[in-house]
Amino acid sequence: MMKQIALILILTLLIPACGTNSSYVQQAASGVWQAQLLAEEGAEPGLGFVVQFTVSGTGGTLSFSSFQFLTSNPCFPVSGNGLAPAGSMSLQVNTTTFQVTGSFDFTVSANGNTLALTGNVTGTENGVTGTQLSNGSVLGSWTLTGTGACASASGSFMMTQSSS
């Protein structure tokens, strides 16, 4: 009877780990990503930016090493002090197909203006060591709130992971 209880206890502890997706995919999403924001008809032309971040833990908090808009715009400085990016990327991998899916949330604030992006991540995991996301992309929507010309705008965006 004690052996059966011990076996049930061991299986109870092991079974939840069999189907879980470790945080390895989270860290594998780290790197350089480029985004292009498309504006709704009649709005200012879309913004674009390049960002480099690391992803940490199962919550997917982003830590930024660089962020830069690709063009000047009336709402934000191109780069440097004053830009405050924040966000998360939470990923799951299908261990049979190695397809990666997840969610992406991002904001950058400066000069009283805030750009917020929300989207869905897709990509593939290499299936060998479980440590590299490739062909990563994010599709979603963005909103801009703030003052003056930056008071209210929205649209869609696409963000792609650099291959290097």
SS3 17: helix
Give the pLDDT confidence of 10-27 residue by residue, as tens digits: 434 343 444 444 444 555
pTM, 2 dp: 0.78
Cα dihedral 92, 134, 138, 35 sign: positive
DSSP state of 153: E
CATH 2.60.40.10 fits 21-161, yes or no: no
Can you read off the two tokens belonging to residue 54? 């690391």
At 44, the pLDDT band (50, 70, 90 cuts) reads low
Mean pLDDT score across all residues of the chain: 78
Domain limits, the chain = 21-161
Give residue-wise pLDDT tens across range 47-88: 889 999 988 776 788 989 999 888 888 888 877 777 889 999
Looking at the chain, the whole-number percentage of residues with pLDDT higher than 90 is 30
